[in-house]
């Protein structure tokens, strides 16, 4: 018989859980008891708890954390699950096998990059794992996963090796404000290098990644997120499909990825822009190792300021016939959506004004707080303000190694459009 603490939740929370959404918020918990009905006041962070409706219907089991706004992160709605080692091994095996199926070339490549675990979409709430070659980079943002790292990591390595993927190190990037909000300590570094026959000093500090035929040096220790943005993989390839012979302006370039794909695809010229000196240095390095430095130049500048200055001079209209906008998330909460909307609208309006009639625009948003309908509305308004018409070429989302669960809207976050501007 299960002996987990029992939480009774509101009707609203029960309805969400029945639909498959995995989060229960603190204000939705009505009571906490042990299975015998005796009341309890607290549950250790990361422990499993059963969730029930007010009518006594079992809704699921998940990780409890009283320090978090998300009080329970459900991991299963099956009453027969036992959450033993075999359960987690099976879950990890399914996640790895899914990537091998949907992205076989990236999976099989010894220098491939792929997201192996995508949090709630893989039923591992608050856990992200990216693979760069033979190195796994892990970010843990939930107490339940944090408490089980020493169990999960070896099982994940075993699942990878069973599918033919060799793993030689795991690097943990478990820092930042989100961990503090969960009441978790921050740490980074290599996990148990001895298990891979290494010491921390002999572990790699960067990795070589090949994506769409483009080579990158990935600094997974100091780079943003886990070191690289894998979710745009297929979008970069789609954008490159329009680039041959074009003069490309690649804004918010980060490691130069969109610009590099375009340069490798035969663009006449590429100017890649980012405000970060480190990002610009890495983009230049990546241009060098791919042999496209003659085609691709890198400029350090504030994209907003640069676009404003360029748009003021009529002579700049038509200077580029293809503009790519890949900004960071302008909003990471519902409280800042309005200001983010203004930011997205400004850069898109300015880009549309700079393009000649018949030019091309790639534009995107990586924030789930900017839902697709709102992003589309912004693009409509930007086009009206720029006095142009948008001819849609493609509407895209994140790569399938970042799967979208239809009953968890938060997993659908990347919006990507290709347009001809008239």
Compute the distance between CA of residue 87 and CA of residue 148 in angstroms, rounded to an integer: 13
CATH 3.40.50.150 fits 229-421, yes or no: yes
Q: Is 364 helix (H, G, I), strand (E, B) or coil?
A: strand
Note the pLDDT of residue 190. 96
Compute the distance between CA of residue 262 and CA of residue 235 in angstroms, rounded to an integer: 12
Superfamily of domain 85-207: RNA methyltransferase domain (HRMD) like (3.30.750.80)
Enzyme catalytic residues: 366
pTM of the shown model: 0.93
Q: Where are the alpha helices (DSSP H) in 176-276?
A: 177-181, 233-240, 257-264
Listed in order, strand segments (DSSP E) in 269-403 are 269-274, 296-300, 322-325, 359-365, 390-396
Note the pLDDT of residue 221. 87
- Domain-wise residue ranges, the chain: 6-76, 85-207, 229-421
Q: Where are the alpha helices (DSSP H) in 355-386?
A: 372-386
Q: Is 276 helix (H, G, I), strand (E, B) or coil?
A: coil
In CATH terms, the fold of domain 6-76 is 2.30.130
pLDDT tens across the length of the chain (422 residues): 578 999 999 999 999 999 999 999 999 999 999 999 999 999 999 999 999 999 999 999 999 999 999 999 999 999 999 999 999 999 999 999 999 999 999 999 999 999 999 999 999 999 999 999 999 999 999 999 999 999 999 999 999 999 999 999 999 999 988 899 899 999 999 999 999 999 989 998 888 999 999 999 988 888 766 778 999 999 999 999 999 999 999 999 999 999 999 999 999 999 999 999 999 999 999 999 999 999 999 999 999 999 999 999 989 999 999 999 999 888 777 778 898 999 999 999 999 999 999 999 999 999 888 899 999 999 999 999 999 999 999 999 999 999 999 999 999 999 999 999 99
Q: Are 163 and 100 in contact (CB under 8 A)?
A: yes
3-class secondary structure per residue, 51-116: EECCCCCEEEEEEECCCCCEEEEEEECCCCCCCCHHHHHHHHHHHHHHHHHHCHHHHHCCCCEEEE
Note the pLDDT of residue 328. 87
Q: Are 263 and 270 in contact (CB under 8 A)?
A: yes
List C-alpha distances in Å: 235 to 21, 202, 416: 28, 35, 7
Note the pLDDT of residue 1. 53
């Amino acid at each position: 018989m299960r002996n987990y603490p029992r939480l009774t939740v509101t009707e609203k929370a029960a309805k969400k859980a029945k639909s498959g959404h995995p989060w229960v918020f603190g204000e939705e918990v009505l009571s906490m008891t042990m299975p015998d009905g005796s009341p309890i006041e607290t549950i250790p962070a990361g422990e499993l708890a059963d969730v029930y409706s007010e009518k006594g219907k079992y809704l699921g089991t998940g990780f409890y954390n009283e320090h978090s706004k998300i009080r329970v992160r459900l991991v299963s709605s099956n009453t027969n699950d036992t959450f033993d080692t075999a359960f987690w091994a099976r879950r990890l095996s399914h996640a790895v096998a899914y990537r091998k199926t949907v992205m076989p070339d990236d999976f099989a490549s010894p220098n491939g990059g792929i997201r192996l675990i995508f949090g709630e979409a893989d039923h591992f709430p608050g856990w992200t794992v990216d693979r760069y070659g033979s190195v796994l980079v892990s970010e843990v943002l939930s107490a339940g996963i944090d408490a089980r790292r020493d169990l999960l990591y070896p099982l994940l390595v075993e699942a990878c090796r069973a599918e033919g993927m060799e793993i030689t190190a795991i690097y943990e990037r478990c820092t930042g404000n989100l961990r503090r909000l969960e009441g978790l300590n921050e740490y980074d570094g290599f996990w148990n290098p001895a298990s891979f026959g290494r010491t921390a000093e002999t572990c790699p500090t960067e990795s070589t990644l090949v994506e769409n035929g483009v080579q990158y040096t990935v600094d997974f220790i100091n780079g943003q997120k886990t070191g690289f943005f894998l979710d745009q993989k297929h979008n970069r390839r789609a954008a490159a499909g329009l680039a041959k012979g074009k003069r490309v302006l690649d804004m918010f370039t980060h490691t130069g990825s969109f610009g590099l794909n375009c340069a490798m695809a035969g663009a006449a010229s590429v100017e890649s822009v980012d405000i970060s000196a480190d990002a610009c240095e890495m983009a230049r390095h990546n241009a060098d190792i791919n042999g496209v430095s003659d085609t691709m130049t890198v400029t350090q500048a504030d994209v907003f300021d640069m676009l404003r200055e360029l748009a003021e001079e009529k002579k700049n209209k038509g200077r580029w016939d293809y503009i790519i906008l890949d900004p960071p998330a302008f909003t990471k909460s519902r409280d800042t959506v309005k200001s983010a909307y203004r930011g997205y609208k400004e850069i898109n309006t300015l880009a549309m004004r700079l393009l000649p009639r018949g030019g091309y625009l790639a534009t995107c948003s990586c924030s789930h707080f900017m839902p697709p309908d709102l992003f589309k509305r912004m693009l409509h308004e930007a086009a009206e303000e720029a006095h142009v018409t948008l001819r849609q070429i493609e509407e895209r989302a994140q790569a399938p190694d970042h799967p979208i669960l239809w009953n968890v809207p938060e997993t659908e976050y990347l919006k990507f459009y290709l347009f001809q501007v008239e």
